[in-house]
């Protein structure tokens, strides 16, 4: 887009606009003002007759619409926002879409700040979560004991829906405070125990913020890596059967080190213990949990819901390598199961990995270990990998005849391959040629 100046002005969280001198001057000098019906009404008494005031279009067409306005001769546009445009607001879209010299921001007090002041909460001591346009299941992954959590909501995350999520997560004594129409004449603040809110559903103003005081859960989710096995729903007794056990899982997590922007495959995900922890501790990484067995896949989906990982954890029902063609290229891969296809799978995945890409694989059976050792030997010959392997053998305490004994589980071999450029082949000169 050519030289069009876009100013994003926050109106504050009150019935009347809260505008700084700079914001007021910019508003009055703009050729066009875009906003919602409510926002345009708030500033209507300030505007001049020649100023154009269309409704703000959806974001997926906004850039095109702005270009059309530019083609029609418009050179200065104001976009109205609520409160602070760069705090869970429309401002972040403009920052991603336009260069800094084309945009300017004029913040006002946000609804989050207003609510904190109404309730006497220090902003730095609370957690804020936006469920506006996002799955309500995301709440599960953010809940903690003794937490104050402020929720930005929409029609899919009403106080009753949030109360139901809290009950399902075991927060039976939680309290919900609903702050309606903050800054308006009909502002109202009311608090409810979650059980009472579910017994007696109420209607609330669409313009509201919900504050949760969580209390303690009777079934809390773990808060440190290496979740105990019993937390996972499996195709057998809780914590048994097709999951990577905690001791091995913790090592796998430390090797993969999930980071924002990673694309990670968990092949042979089973009931999803590795995928769950990868995404639980790094929500900004995209994790694809691939499992072909229907029963285990169903358990994977249940665990995904239980831990509230509804954004960047993708459960994929199918077999590798065939299903992989539909997925984005990864930079990190964990292989916990391969259905006898391990050699072909390793070579295919390795060829796709960029330098710095990583494969971590575990083996219990000798034939699996044999395949991984063969792959290791190939990498050593080609010099295209940094390789680490170790074996973990865990013994669990038990009693026998009233005495403590340790029962050893099957050892698990772990292989870690990090791709690097192939080492150049150096041809040594004949010493006799050197003498010449």
- CATH code (residue 356): 3.40.50.150
Higher pLDDT, 82 or 8: 8
State phi, psi for 331 to the nearest 5 degrees.
-115, -10
The C-alpha atoms of residue 141 and residue 131 are separated, in whole angstroms, by: 12
Residues 264 and 287 in one domain: yes
The pLDDT tens digits for 182-210 are 989 999 999 999 999 999 989 999 999 99
Domain assignment present for 274? yes
219 in a domain, yes or no?
A: no
The model's confidence at residue 223, banded by pLDDT at 50, 70 and 90, is confident
3 has pLDDT over 80: no
Q: Are residues 266 and 392 in the same domain?
A: yes
- 433 belongs to a structural domain: no
Return d(Cα 332, Cα 322) in angstroms, integer: 18
Q: In the prediction, which pLDDT does 429 show?
A: 52
User: What is the pLDDT averaged over residues 127-139?
Assistant: 92
Q: Are 334 and 360 in contact (CB under 8 A)?
A: yes
For 338, other C-beta atoms within 10 Å of its C-beta total: 20
Q: How many domains are there within the chain?
A: 3
pLDDT digits over 297-310, tens only? 999 999 999 999 98
pLDDT band at residue 421 under the 50/70/90 scheme: confident
Contacts of 429 (CB under 8 A, 6+ apart): none
Residue 312 and residue 394 share a domain: yes
Any domain includes 161: yes
pLDDT at 427 over 50: no
CATH for 68: 3.40.1010.10
User: Which structure tokens are listed for 106?
Assistant: 């004029």
Report the percentage of the chain scoring pLDDT > 90: 79
Same structural domain, 247 and 385: yes
434 pLDDT tier (thresholds 50, 70, 90): very low
Q: Rounded CA gap, 257 and 58, in Å?
A: 37
Cβ(268)–Cβ(365) under 8 Å?
no
Provide the residue range defining the domain that includes 28: 5-109
Nearest CA among 182, 170, 180, 179 for reference residue 139: 170
Q: Does residue 435 lie within any of the structural domains?
A: no
Instruction: Look at residue 436 in the predicted model and tell me its pLDDT.
Output: 46
User: In which residue are the tokens 């669990």 written?
Assistant: 396
CB proximity list for 184: less than 8 A, separation 6 or greater: 14, 15, 207
How far apart CA 222 and CA 228 sit, in angstroms, is: 8
In a domain, 26, yes or no: yes
Sign (positive or negative) of CA dihedral 18, 20, 23, 29? positive
In angstroms, the CA 216 to CA 329 distance is: 41
Q: What is the pLDDT of residues 372-401, one digit of tens each?
A: 999 999 999 999 999 999 999 999 999 999
pLDDT exceeds 90 at position 243 = no
Residue 431 has pLDDT above 80, yes or no: no
Question: Any idea what the CATH number is for the domain that residue 176 is in?
Answer: 3.30.950.10
> Residue 424 pLDDT > 70, yes or no?
no
pLDDT tier for residue 222 given thresholds of 50, 70 and 90: confident
**What burial class does residue 130 get, using C-beta atoms within 10 Å of its C-beta: 0-12 exposed, 13-18 middle, 19+ buried?**
middle
Average confidence (pLDDT) over 232-247:
77
188-193 and 76-81: which strand pairing? unpaired
> Please, are residues 140 and 151 in contact by the beta-carbon 8 Å criterion?
no
Closest C-alpha to 126, from 101, 150, 157: 150
Peptide bond into 331 cis (omega under 30): no
My answer on whether 80 and 118 are in the same domain is: no
Angle 404-408-413 from CA coordinates, rounded to 5°: 150
Token readout for 11 is: 């109106």
> Which tokens is 72 given?
């029609």
Q: Where are the alpha helices (DSSP H) in 323-404?
A: 342-352, 366-382
Both 241 and 316 in a single domain? Answer: yes
What is the model's pTM? 0.83
State how far the Cα of 326 lies from the Cα of 307, in Å rounded to an integer. 26
Residues 262 and 397 in one domain: yes
**Distance separating alpha carbons of residues 110 and 118, to the nearest angstrom:** 13
Helices in 51-154 by DSSP H: which ranges? 59-71, 91-97, 111-119, 139-142
The answer to whether residue 220 is domain-embedded is: no
Unique residue bearing structure tokens 């989710």:
221
Task: Specify which residues 389 forms β-bridges with.
Answer: 415
In this structure, the answer to whether residues 37 and 12 fall within a common structural domain is yes
Q: Is residue 221 part of a domain?
A: no
Q: What is the pLDDT of residues 75-97, one digit of tens each?
A: 999 999 989 999 999 999 999 99
């Amino acid at each position: 887009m050519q030289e069009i100046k876009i100013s994003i002005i926050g109106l504050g969280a009150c019935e009347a606009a809260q505008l700084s001198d700079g914001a007021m001057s910019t508003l009055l000098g703009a050729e066009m003002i875009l906003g919602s019906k409510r926002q345009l009404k708030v500033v209507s008494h300030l505007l001049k007759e020649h100023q154009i005031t269309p409704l703000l279009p959806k974001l997926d067409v906004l850039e095109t619409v702005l270009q059309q306005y530019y083609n029609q001769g418009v050179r200065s546009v104001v976009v109205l926002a609520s409160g602070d445009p760069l705090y869970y607001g429309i401002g972040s879209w403009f920052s991603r879409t336009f260069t800094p010299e084309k945009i300017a921001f004029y913040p006002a007090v946000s609804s989050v700040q207003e609510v904190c002041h109404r309730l006497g909460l220090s902003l730095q001591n609370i957690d804020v979560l936006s469920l506006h346009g996002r799955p309500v299941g995301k709440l599960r992954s953010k809940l903690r004991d003794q937490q104050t959590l402020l929720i930005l909501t929409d029609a899919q995350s009403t106080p009753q829906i949030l109360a139901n999520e809290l009950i399902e997560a075991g927060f039976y004594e939680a309290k919900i405070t609903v702050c309606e129409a903050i800054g308006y004449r009909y502002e109202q603040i009311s608090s409810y125990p979650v059980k009472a809110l579910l017994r007696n559903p109420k209607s609330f103003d669409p313009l509201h913020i919900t504050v949760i005081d969580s209390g303690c859960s009777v079934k809390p989710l773990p808060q440190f890596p290496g979740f105990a096995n019993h937390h996972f729903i499996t195709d057998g007794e809780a914590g048994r059967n097709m999951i990577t056990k905690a001791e091995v899982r913790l090592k796998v997590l430390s090797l993969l080190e999930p980071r924002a922007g990673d694309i990670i495959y968990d092949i042979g995900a089973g009931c999803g213990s590795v995928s769950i922890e990868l995404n639980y501790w790094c929500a900004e990484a995209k994790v694809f949990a691939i499992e072909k067995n229907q029963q285990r896949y169903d358990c994977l989906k249940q665990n995904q819901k239980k831990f509230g990982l509804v954004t960047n954890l993708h459960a994929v029902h199918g077999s590798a390598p065939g299903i992989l063609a539909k997925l984005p290229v990864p930079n990190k891969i964990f292989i916990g199961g391969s259905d006898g296809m391990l050699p072909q799978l390793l070579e295919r995945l390795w060829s796709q990995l960029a330098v710095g890409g990583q494969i971590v694989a575990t083996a219990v059976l000798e034939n699996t270990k044999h395949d991984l050792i063969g792959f290791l030997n190939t990498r050593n010959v080609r010099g295209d990998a940094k390789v680490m392997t170790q074996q973990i053998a865990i013994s669990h305490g038990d009693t026998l005849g009233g005495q403590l004994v340790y029962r050893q589980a099957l050892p698990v071999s772990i292989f870690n391959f990090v791709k690097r450029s192939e080492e150049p082949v150096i041809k040594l000169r004949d010493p006799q040629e050197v003498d010449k």
